[in-house]
Amino acid sequence: MEALFFRSLAQELALQLSDRRLERVHSPRTGWWTLRLQPDDHPRFLLFAHHPAIQALVLSDKRPENPLVPSARVMWLRKRVQGARIISVRTHWSTRRMALGLERGATRSWLIFDAQTGIALENDPPQWDQTPTPWPSLSEIRADRDIWKSHPHISPLLRKTLSLLPESEAGDLLVGLRGDASSIFVYENDNGPPLACPWRLPTKLRQGLREHQFASALEAAGMLAEDVFFRQTVQVDRTETWAAKKRARLLQRLQADEERMHRYRELARQAQLLKAKLYLLPAHERLEKVTLAGPDGQFLEVDLDPKRTILENMEHWFRLADKGKRGLAQIRERREEVLAGSLIQPRPFQAESASRAGRAKAAQGDGLPMHRFLSSDGFILLRGRNQKANHALLTKTAASFDYWFHVQQGPGAHVILKRDHPNQEVPEQTLREAAALAGLASSFSSAARALVICAEVRHVRAVKGHPGLARVDKTLCTMIADLDPDMESRLKATPGS
């Protein structure tokens, strides 16, 4: 996202967001965020996407589909910002950052949107430099290819634009960009996401692109959001481009395979020559090469694999020659299928979504006989009800960076604490709650306390042939858990939460 476009967008968003409330927080997928706002007579959803290659920020009347189960990060944010009122908006446009000042009762906090790193919640207001953004001269911009490093608002695209324009036009554009943008231009192509900038690209740069002009940054952002958040419902013609590219890739691979099979077929002549003279050679010796008389009386030097005997080389060549013969027939059939289109199907957007949903359900333990809990900090805790469920939780449901809990020196259930990523910090309270849930489903359930071990799942191995048994290679910590019988009912998750 161009910093100059972000400046215009942030100014318009500030007017739309002031004094509204955060009603709900969702994360449709990694790097995507949806904030449902009140009142709902305005565009109701604030959509945000951050990725090194593409970013989007927009107010919309529609939202992407949310997962069946919210992540621990979402639950953590909901607990802290849900119902808060937006009392102020701050921006640092050159680095594409925006902060919403939130108020909920006596508590104030700042929800920060960063185009590079995503969303963060801070207690203190951001300490961003509020001095006017410095602008380099036209000559400095044209002379320094890496000027974006010291002046992030001078993007490579802007520098390229200023380099292509005549000096007088480039100077006028640079002066004009220091003020508010009068129009936003969006450029589309068939091979990548659209691009928005507050200036019109020179003719050379916009060749092959479709140009759209908007009076406001929010309108332009809406078009970008369609491509980022709702891509499967627009630009259906991309399926044709995808199919053509896949056909070309398949044909290229078949061509390489065909050349390899022909080389295998050629080995048959070499093997026949060696077979005809084998009685004259030390068949069981390993040599690097042999010299043989060909059918025309000419002597030929044949290279051998010194790891094999002469006889083994000959047999190996015959096997490769047979493989080449069979492979050429299969390649001809497959090429006909590719050209007919039977091996190329349109991208199954809905099927992929269903597959992702299925993986998400498996990651949360859906379909397994298990108990599901939510810690007081919003982390998902899963506990198996029997040996089969314990085994499945450890081997199928848990990620390698999730935490595993079990009582020490005694039978009991496995408890998995789900994390979003390997570096995610887990509060002490959540760790204690997970340990207590492991103790309450063990042979120590009637005691006041239990000794519980915690380990990363990557250091826990299921014992083959013994469902429910596990071997721990490295423990993270050992905890003394207070066993409160009411904790299970207090943390028990309700369906759909």
For residue 453, what pLDDT is reported?
A: 94
For residue 387, what pLDDT is reported?
A: 87
For residue 241, what pLDDT is reported?
A: 64
For residue 364, what pLDDT is reported?
A: 53
Helices 3-17/217-229 angle, 10° precision: 100
For residue 341, what pLDDT is reported?
A: 65
pLDDT tens digits, 64-122: 888 777 888 889 889 898 889 999 999 988 888 899 999 988 889 999 998 888 888 99
For residue 29, what pLDDT is reported?
A: 82
Low pLDDT (below 50) residues in the chain: 233-237, 345-362, 496-497
For residue 152, what pLDDT is reported?
A: 87
Contact yes or no for 434/440 (Cβ under 8 A): no
For residue 242, what pLDDT is reported?
A: 65
For residue 233, what pLDDT is reported?
A: 42
* Count of Cβ atoms closer than 10 Å to residue 118 Cβ: 19
Burial per residue of 464-477, b for 16 or more beta-carbon CB atoms within 10 angstroms, e otherwise:
eeebbebebeeeee
267: left (phi over 0), alpha (psi -120 to 50) or beta: alpha
Give phi and psi for 490, each to the nearest 5.
-70, -35
